[in-house]
């Protein structure tokens, strides 16, 4: 049995915000000596001196029950991933034994965060991103199974893109109802209202934190993925769907759509509320993607410089 070290977030603000404990493999126990340094910065959990491993890919999996799918997801990653990676599992208030199972399968650099409540998609993934040590962050739903070459193809696609995903969709704008709502699957990532769906997203760590991560106003879920894609476009970071050549995407990553939120109450009401929030943010407040192209004087290199300064 692998020994697990549990680190309680002692700061009362952290406990109120996250209600979480950080559980790590024993070779990460040194973090226990730093627990007084964890703090909130711009609404996010951060730790001074946090080390990032160049070339490492942190696969962040948010779980809310559905242990059967989580097992299949992790097993498929173990069997089909050759690149250097770590698992960061965020147990978002599960009651089906998810944390107990994950504890038994952690490897040396893997991490488990266990929350006593469901923080929502944005807050849970943001917390996972904060403790992850990879240069790249890969957000993957627990109702996904991956096949051979899946991560290699995502990484190849990221060479000329800021955000890569497995599925591209687009929104429709309704000015009478003041909503941006899901219209369907899209094949053109240059479409202004297109976005990458959140069940599989790859982004560089420094880009993710420059963009301030997922917007927690969209918790518990819906619209945070569209918002992240829009923020990428606003910052001139290209979004890109994983191509179907040389491997069909559905062979690389199989998504059992909807299983990650099955049995969640009031899903329609949540979607409607977030459609309104997305419209307010991107149409009313920022006039759809914010500054005009001619007004934005920002390159990818300058984005990286700003991120480095922010993280110091």
The C-alpha angle with vertex 22 and arms to 19 and 28, in degrees rounded to 5, equals 165
Q: Is residue 129 exposed (0-12), middle (13-18) or buried (19+ Cβ within 10 Å)?
A: buried
pLDDT digits (tens, 9 = 90+) for 169-183: 999 999 999 999 999
pLDDT exceeds 70 at position 189: yes
CB atoms within 10 A of CB 263: 9
* Tokens matching residue 302: 């300058």
DSSP state, 270?
Answer: H
pLDDT digits (tens, 9 = 90+) for 79-93: 999 999 999 999 998
What integer pLDDT is reported at residue 149 of this predicted model? 96
- Check the CA dihedral 260-149-164-241 and report its sign: negative
Question: Please, which pLDDT band fits residue 52 given cuts at 50, 70 and 90?
Answer: confident
What integer pLDDT is reported at residue 117 of this predicted model? 85
Q: Which percentage of the chain shows pLDDT scores above 90?
A: 60
Taking the C-alpha atoms of residue 128 and residue 272, their distance in angstroms, rounded to an integer, is: 27
Predicted TM-score (pTM) of the model is: 0.80
The most confident of the ranges 8-22, 152-166, 294-308 is 152-166
Looking at the domain that runs over 4-311, which CATH code has it been given?
Answer: 3.90.550.10
Residue 268 CB partners (closer than 8 Å, separation 6+): none
pLDDT exceeds 60 at position 48: no
pLDDT exceeds 80 at position 75: yes
Taking the C-alpha atoms of residue 55 and residue 36, their distance in angstroms, rounded to an integer, is: 29
Question: Greater confidence, 52 or 147?
Answer: 147
C-beta separation of 121 from 197 below 8 A: no
pLDDT exceeds 90 at position 122: yes
- Range name among 96-105, 183-192, 205-214, 241-250 with the lowest pLDDT average: 183-192
| Residue 115: strand, helix, or coil | strand
pLDDT exceeds 90 at position 242: yes
Strands 85-92 and 111-115: parallel
Taking the C-alpha atoms of residue 209 and residue 172, their distance in angstroms, rounded to an integer, is: 28
* Tokens matching residue 227: 């918002």
For 17, half-sphere exposure in the C-beta direction (CA atoms, 13 angstrom radius) is 21
Q: What is the mean pLDDT of the chain?
A: 80
pLDDT exceeds 80 at position 98: yes
What integer pLDDT is reported at residue 196 of this predicted model? 97
| Residue 238: strand, helix, or coil | coil
Q: What is the pLDDT averaged over residues 61-70? A: 94
What integer pLDDT is reported at residue 260 of this predicted model? 61
* Tokens matching residue 304: 């990286």
pLDDT digits (tens, 9 = 90+) for 22-46: 544 433 332 333 333 444 434 444 4
């Amino acid at each position: 049995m692998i020994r697990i070290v549990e680190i309680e977030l002692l700061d009362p603000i952290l406990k109120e915000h996250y209600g979480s404990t950080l559980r790590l493999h024993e070779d990460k126990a040194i973090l226990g000596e730093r627990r007084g340094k964890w703090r909130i910065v711009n609404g996010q959990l951060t730790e001074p001196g946090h080390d990032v491993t160049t070339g490492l890919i942190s696969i962040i999996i948010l779980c809310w029950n559905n242990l059967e799918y989580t097992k299949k997801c992790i097993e498929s990653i173990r069997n089909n991933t050759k690149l250097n990676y770590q698992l960061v599992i965020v147990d978002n208030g599960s009651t089906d034994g998810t944390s107990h199972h994950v504890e038994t399968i952690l490897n040396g650099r893997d991490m488990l965060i266990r929350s006593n409540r469901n923080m929502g998609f944005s807050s849970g993934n943001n917390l996972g991103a904060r403790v992850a040590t990879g240069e790249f962050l890969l957000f993957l739903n627990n109702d996904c199974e991956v096949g051979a070459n899946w991560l290699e193809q995502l990484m190849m696609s990221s060479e000329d893109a800021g955000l890569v995903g497995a599925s591209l969709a687009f929104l429709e704008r309704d000015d009478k109802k003041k909503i941006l709502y899901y219209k369907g699957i899209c094949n053109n990532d240059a479409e202004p209202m297109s976005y990458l769906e959140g069940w599989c997203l790859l982004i560089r760590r420094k880009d993710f934190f420059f963009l301030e991560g997922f917007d927690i106003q969209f918790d518990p879920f819906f619209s945070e993925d569209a918002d992240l894609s829009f923020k990428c476009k606003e910052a001139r970071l290209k979004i890109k769907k994983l191509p179907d050549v040389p491997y069909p995407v559905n062979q690389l990553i199989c998504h059992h759509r909807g299983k990650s939120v099955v049995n969640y109450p009031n899903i329609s009401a949540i979607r409607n509320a977030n459609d309104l929030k997305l419209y307010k943010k991107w149409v009313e407040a920022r006039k759809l993607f914010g500054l005009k192209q001619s007004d934005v004087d920002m390159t990818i290199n300058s984005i990286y410089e700003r991120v480095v300064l922010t993280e110091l």
